[in-house]
Amino acid sequence: MPPPQDERPPRAGRRFVPGPAALVPILAVVLAFLAGSVLILLTGFATVGHLDLLLPVTAYLALLQGAGITTDPAQATNGLVNTVVQAAPLVLGGLSVGLAFKAGLFNIGAQGQFLMGALAAAGTGAAVAGWPGPLAILAAILAGCIAGAAWGFIPGALKAFTGAHEVVTTIMLNTIAASVVGWLVTGPLLATGFSFDRTGDLGNATLPILFGTRNLHLGVLASVLAVPVIWFLLWRLTLGFEIRTVGANPSAARYAGMRPAFLIVFTMSLAGLLAGLAGSMEILGITHFMNASYGTSVGFDSITVALLGRAHPVGIVLAALLFGALRAGAGLMQIKTHIPVEIVDVIQAIVLLFIAADVIVRFVFRVRTGHGGLAELQTVTKSYGEGAVR
Amino acid sequence: MVDVAPALEMRGITKRYPGVLANDRISLDVRPGEIHALLGENGAGKSTLMNILYGLAAPDEGEILLDGTPVTINGPSDAIARGISMVHQHFMLVPVLSVADNILLGKETMANPIFLDRAEAHRRIVELGKRFGFEIDPEAKVESLSVGWQQRVEILKALYREARILVLDEPTAVLTPQETEEIFAVLRRLAAEGHSIIFISHKLYEVLAIADRITVIRRGKVVGTRIPAQTDEDDLAELMVGREVQLTVDRGESHPAGTVLEVDGLRVNDDRGREAVRGVTFAVQGGEILGIAGVAGNGQDELVEALTGLRKPTGGRVTLAGQDVTNQRTRQMNEAGLRFVPGDRHRFGLVLGFPVDDNLVLTSYYRPPFARGLLRDEDAIDVAARRSIAEFDIRTPSEHVPASTLSGGNQQKLIVAREFGGELKLLVLDQPTRGLDVGSIEFIHRQTIARRDAGAAVLLVSAELDEVLELSDRIAVMYRGEIVAIRDGRTADKEEIGLLMATGNRDAAVATAGSPG
């Protein structure tokens, strides 16, 4: 007799909300905050000279307040907007890394793809600054997407046709991207009339700010739209089924008549596009130009976001919002408690540590089930040099 | 009853897993010098019981007694220390290391705290081998040994650790009939020296041939204990499955109707670039089952991969239903009417983490009704999955649970349901019943014959000689990449085929038997 309808476990990925798979990531975050409070205690002791046991609570409350979790409407709006703006590029970056995970690829190259996207958007934006607004914006975004996609295509093609491991090639391409930025910004894309090396003004290619806020730019919309698009691709299209199959079992994908080589190139290109899109949005919406030593950690933070979100689009949004909130609230925390903003980087790193070493989390919280096993980590730790994909 | 304390007694062992009662008050006793067979279908609870014995799982209830003394076994090293050793179905050997190194691994014989005492280890290995009727060169690399000899290395490893109770999990699954006889001789010798052996199997005739007593387990319970003299295959099969089972399927007459698959001078390299298939020529007609017999590793894998588009041949031609498919991709071969049950179902046949319904459309997901344009039609996939689950009796709580949660037999039924359905011209079956229980084997054999009778050409590759003999209308023997003989399936002689498998030549067989490698 078949069990009643409601008892049947739903298809994985079909539901839009994460299930028990979220357990380990959530507990990892809890542990990271506990570890962070120890650091806050020690920092407080080092600066003030005595141990203030309430300091972690005060600091975290200030952090929350800065991130918009407060009753003051003005402060709340401001904080929430900051959280969202900080989270937006992490969503796209997280989707980039997460999508690659689904295909069994570890895209460490989100950083380079982000930089190339930002550079292309900055250069193109400056070149089309006089075009009508929508056209200029579209052209700049398109250039950013293409540049990012190209920076993903290269390691994808190298992997598919020569077997070169994407971890190695994307790390190298990250370095190359940083150098390309330095060269183009001081050379072909250098704008005159500024006291330092930078690209030209964006003019009409600048993204509009929404709802009269200080910094909620239109680019945030791209992050909001990308989430259902990637979800739809992965779970509704046959192409997504192929991507997931290649990621879960490449041999079975070949047996099923799929083309792993094509899928790897496609997925890496799309992953690059997402990271490139994130880079364009940062330039067109926030910094408005690129300088020779453009610094960002979005590409690397995206890896943490993807792992914490377990490569699921919704999980990635939640993880990105968490890290966005940390960044948005860190300033107020420093002002109120003199705990340096860098503590949030430490917390973020500890989260990654606990995700990677999930055995610790399972031990501390007595998690017994195997359901929380992180398949993405197998992609991360998979041995190199498996040979070319036939 | 003999008045000696059993070497091993398991009393009232109960083990519950969420939703499953894996062992339900199982009691088992093994006397010194006894070969005790444990018979049961996959999922009956044999593995759970042995895992409890080996300390890999703790029983919820019940106790284990060694020589009459209750013990608690906390893990494999504890089990080994107490003289319990396990020879797994998949050997746990390091291929690039020598026999001696493999045996020493985990229980090193030391000359001093830093260096191994190799001389002493060698002496003991040779001595043990002599005692039990097989001499082996301790310096031989394991990868250079045949499967039968690798198994002896596993047994030696256990003996070296002074095992008194040996558990052998499906030890004959990978052996030729001759090798099986040889390993049986070794086991009898071990028993004669007072070792207790637990022999896990679901091959009924083997159990009858080797065991002193047979305990049958079904659904976590002991359903009977028999002495070979007082039972037979039918009785055991009925105990094991819980209903009357037809052990040999009546294959009936074949009605060959036109060539479907034509293989002409096919040459295929293996992963290391060596020629594994060396100019193979044969044809399979519609309505006919051609069985390929051979010891594993004689080029069957490469042949099957070349015929299914997974591996590019280096020479020769493959024609499927009149169409040259020699360098075609798997997808095009599928479209030409090929269906394929792969030998390694976990590597090729399934995506274990995916739900059952996704696995059921693994090779047809891109076609209507499962896809509309670029979109997946999950309702159609669900409906078809529920139909397949009912039709092929796949035991699963739902079509949405991961394929990894199914038993081996049900996983294989899933693959069979996927590949046997719909229009097809050629069915390639690679080890279709490996590791399956009697009930599932019967089911898959029936389905195979039904597809043949419906006009499909069937190419059956199996290391299980009995299966090839039972199903095939014609039998081709493969040896070192060549087909050395083709025999009529109804008149083939098992001994002759066995010799051809082992030597490629029935006359040379006697000369080489008994030497390692």
A236, A244, A252 ranked by CB distance to B375: nearest: A236
Q: Enumerate domains of chain B plus CATH numbers.
A: 8-241 (3.40.50.300), 246-337+424-508 (3.40.50.300), 345-422 (no CATH)
* Tokens of residue B127, six digits: 């001595």
**A248: chain B residues, CB-CB within 8 Å:** 351-354
Q: Is the CB of residue B208 less than 8 Å from the CB of residue B232?
A: yes
> Smallest CA–CA separation between B147 and chain A, in Å?
25
B461 secondary structure, DSSP code: E
Spatial distance between the Cα atoms of B41 and B25, rounded to a whole number of angstroms: 18
Q: Enumerate domains of chain A plus CATH numbers.
A: 19-379 (1.10.3470)
- In the sheet that holds B482-488, the strands lie side by side as B338-341, B426-430, B457-462, B288-293, B474-479, B482-488
The DSSP string of B325-341 is -TT--HHHHHHTTEEEE
> Smallest CA–CA separation between A320 and chain B, in Å?
26
3-state secondary structure of B447: helix
Q: Which residue of A has its CA nearest to B400?
A: A11
**Residue in B388, B458, B468, B392 with CA at minimum distance from that of residue B425:** B458
B331, B374, B400 ranked by CB distance to A11: nearest: B400
B369 prior amide bond cis, ω within 30? yes
Yes or no, beta carbons of A239 and B371 under 8 Å apart: no
B63 secondary structure, DSSP code: E
**B355: chain A residues, CB-CB within 8 Å:** 11-12
Spatial distance between the Cα atoms of A91 and A332, rounded to a whole number of angstroms: 23
Query: For residue B453, which phi and psi values (nearest 5 degrees)?
Result: -65, -20
**Residue in B254, B298, B257, B258 with CA at minimum distance from that of residue B278:** B298
Q: Which residue of B has its CA nearest to A3?
A: B397
Residue B447 touches chain A, beta carbons under 8 Å: no
For chain B, the distance separating the N- and C-terminal CA atoms, rounded to the nearest angstrom, is 43
Residue B425 touches chain A, beta carbons under 8 Å: no
* Tokens of residue B226, six digits: 């028999």
Per-residue model confidence (pLDDT) at position B34:
95
> Smallest CA–CA separation between A23 and chain B, in Å?
18
Query: For residue A315, which phi and psi values (nearest 5 degrees)?
Result: -60, -40
Residue B229 touches chain A, beta carbons under 8 Å: no
Per-residue model confidence (pLDDT) at position B267:
96
**A12: chain B residues, CB-CB within 8 Å:** 354-355, 400, 402
A12, A238, A255 ranked by CB distance to B330: nearest: A255
Residue B287 touches chain A, beta carbons under 8 Å: no
The angle, 0 to 180 degrees and rounded to 10, between the axes of the packed helices A166-186 and A110-127 is 30
3-state secondary structure of A357: coil
Yes or no, beta carbons of B397 and A8 under 8 Å apart: yes
Q: Which residue of A has its CA nearest to B364?
A: A256
* Tokens of residue A236, six digits: 């509704």
Q: What are the contacts of B212-216 at 24+ separation with CB within 8 A?
A: B212/B34, B212/B35, B212/B36, B213/B34, B213/B36, B213/B37, B214/B36, B214/B37, B214/B39, B215/B28, B215/B36, B215/B37, B215/B38, B215/B39, B216/B39, B216/B40, B216/B240
Choose, out of B302, B339, B398, B404, the residue to mutate when testing the contact with A (most A CBs < 10 Å): B398
Q: In which element (H, E) is residue B64 found? A: strand B61-66
Place of tokens 């990637």: A230
**A3: chain B residues, CB-CB within 8 Å:** 397-398
Q: In which element (H, E) is residue B274 found? A: none
* Tokens of residue B271, six digits: 């992963």
For chain A, the distance separating the N- and C-terminal CA atoms, rounded to the nearest angstrom, is 44
State the count of interchain CB pairs (< 8 A) between A and B. Answer: 87
Yes or no, beta carbons of B398 and A9 under 8 Å apart: yes
Spatial distance between the Cα atoms of B368 and A288, rounded to a whole number of angstroms: 49
Yes or no, beta carbons of B353 and A375 under 8 Å apart: yes
Choose, out of A8, A101, A245, A249, the residue to mutate when testing the contact with B (most B CBs < 10 Å): A249
* Tokens of residue B354, six digits: 């995916």
Yes or no, beta carbons of B363 and A259 under 8 Å apart: no
Yes or no, beta carbons of A248 and B331 under 8 Å apart: no
Q: How do the pLDDT tens digits run along chain A, 390 residues long?
A: 333 333 444 454 444 444 567 788 888 888 899 999 899 888 888 887 777 788 888 889 888 988 888 888 888 888 899 999 999 999 999 999 999 999 999 999 999 999 999 999 999 998 888 889 889 999 999 999 999 999 999 999 999 999 899 999 999 999 999 999 999 988 888 878 888 888 878 887 788 888 877 788 888 999 999 999 999 999 999 999 999 999 999 999 999 999 999 999 999 999 999 999 999 999 999 888 888 888 888 989 999 999 989 889 999 999 999 999 999 888 888 888 888 888 888 888 888 888 887 777 777 777 655 444 456 666 665 544 343 333
3-state helix, strand, coil in chain B (%, to 5): 35, 25, 40
Residue A229 touches chain B, beta carbons under 8 Å: no
Residue A241 touches chain B, beta carbons under 8 Å: yes
pTM: 0.79
Q: How do the pLDDT tens digits run along chain B, 517 residues long?
A: 446 788 999 999 999 887 778 899 999 999 999 999 999 877 788 888 999 999 988 999 999 999 989 999 998 889 989 999 988 877 788 888 899 888 888 777 777 778 878 888 888 888 888 888 778 888 888 888 877 788 888 888 888 888 899 999 888 876 777 788 888 998 999 999 899 999 998 778 889 999 999 999 988 899 999 999 999 888 888 888 887 776 677 778 888 888 999 999 999 998 888 899 999 999 999 999 999 998 878 899 999 999 999 999 999 999 999 899 998 889 999 999 999 999 888 889 999 999 999 999 999 999 989 999 899 999 999 999 999 999 988 888 888 999 988 888 889 999 999 999 878 999 999 999 887 777 888 889 999 999 999 999 999 998 888 889 999 999 999 999 999 999 998 888 888 888 888 888 766 544 444 444 3
Per-residue model confidence (pLDDT) at position A18:
47
Q: Which residue of A has its CA nearest to B361?
A: A256
Per-residue model confidence (pLDDT) at position B43:
72
Residue A245 touches chain B, beta carbons under 8 Å: yes
> Smallest CA–CA separation between A170 and chain B, in Å?
28
Yes or no, beta carbons of A245 and B378 under 8 Å apart: no
Beta-strand pair B259-269/B275-285: antiparallel
Place of tokens 């004669």: B192
Would the CA dihedral through A224, A229, A234, A236 be positive or negative?
positive
Q: What is the ipTM of this complex?
A: 0.81
What lies within 8 Å, CB to CB, of A13 at 6+ separation is A234, A235, A312
3-state secondary structure of B83: coil
Place of tokens 């293409």: A146
Spatial distance between the Cα atoms of B361 and B418, rounded to a whole number of angstroms: 7
**B398: chain A residues, CB-CB within 8 Å:** 2-3, 8-9
**B354: chain A residues, CB-CB within 8 Å:** 12, 244-245, 248
Q: CA angle, corner B210, sides to B27 and B227, nearest 5?
A: 50
B170 secondary structure, DSSP code: S
Q: Which residue of B has its CA nearest to A375?
A: B353
The DSSP string of A198-228 is BPPP-GGGSPPBPTT-SS-BTTHHHHHHHHH
The DSSP string of B467-480 is HHHHH-SEEEEEET
